[in-house]
Amino acid sequence: MNWRRIVTGSVLAAALLLAPLHYIAAETSETDKNKETLLKAYEDLLQHYSKPGQEKLVEAAIQGMIESLNDPHTNYMPPDDYSTFINSINQNYAGIGIVAVADEERKGLEVREVFPNTPAEKAGLAVGDLIVKVDETLPTPGKVQELNRLIRGKEGTVVTLHVVRDGKNIVIQPTRQIIQLPLVKQTDAGNNVHMISIYSFGEKTAEEFQKAYDEAILSNAKALILDLRGNGGGYVDSAIEIADFFLKKGDIVVFHDKSGNDQPVAADAQGTDIPLAVLIDENSASASEILAGSLRKNNRALLIGTTSFGKGTMQTTVKMPNGAFIKVSIEQWELPDGSIIDHKGIQPDIRLSYPQLFVNAAVQALVPNRKQELTYSQGQGAAILNGTKLADSPVLITLNGKVYIPLRFTVEALGSAVSWANGVTSFNLGGKEIAVPKGQGTALTGGVTYIEAGAFAKLIGKPIAIDKDKVTIRY
Indicate which residues carry an active-site annotation.
286, 311, 315
Within the chain, what is the greatest distance between any pair of CA atoms?
87
Q: Whole-angstrom Cα distance, residue 284 to residue 358?
A: 14
Q: Is 110 helix (H, G, I), strand (E, B) or coil?
A: strand
Distance CA 180, CA 208 (A): 14
Q: Which residues of 420-444 are buried (b: 16+ CB within 10 A; e: fewer)?
A: eeeeebbbebeeeebebeeeebbbe
Three-state SS for 219-274 is CCCCEEEEECCCCCCECHHHHHHHHHHHCCCCEEEEEECCCCCEEEEECCCCCCCC
SS3 398: strand
Q: How far is CA 386 from CA 62, 431, 457, in A?
A: 56, 21, 18
Comparing CA positions, the residue from 347, 278, 343 lying closest to residue 311 is 343
- Say how far apart CA 165 and CA 380 lie, in whole Å: 15
Under 8 Å CB-to-CB from 83, ≥6 apart: which residues? none
Give the residues across from 170 on adjacent strands: 163
Residue 275 CA: distances (Å) to CA of 141, 221, 226, 237, 294: 38, 10, 11, 23, 15
Q: Which residues contact 457 (CB under 8 A, 6 or more apart)?
A: 463, 464, 466
Q: Which residues pair with 328 in a beta bridge?
A: 316
Sign of CA dihedral 46, 51, 53, 58: negative
- Let me know: does 280 contact 345? Beta carbons within 8 Å: no
Strand order across the 432-437 sheet:
418-421, 424-429, 432-437
Angstrom distance (rounded) from CA 163 to CA 174: 12
Phi, psi of 380, rounded to the nearest 5 degrees:
-85, -20
Strands (E), 299-440: 302-305, 313-319, 325-332, 350-351, 373-377, 384-385, 388-389, 397-399, 402-406, 418-421, 424-429, 432-437
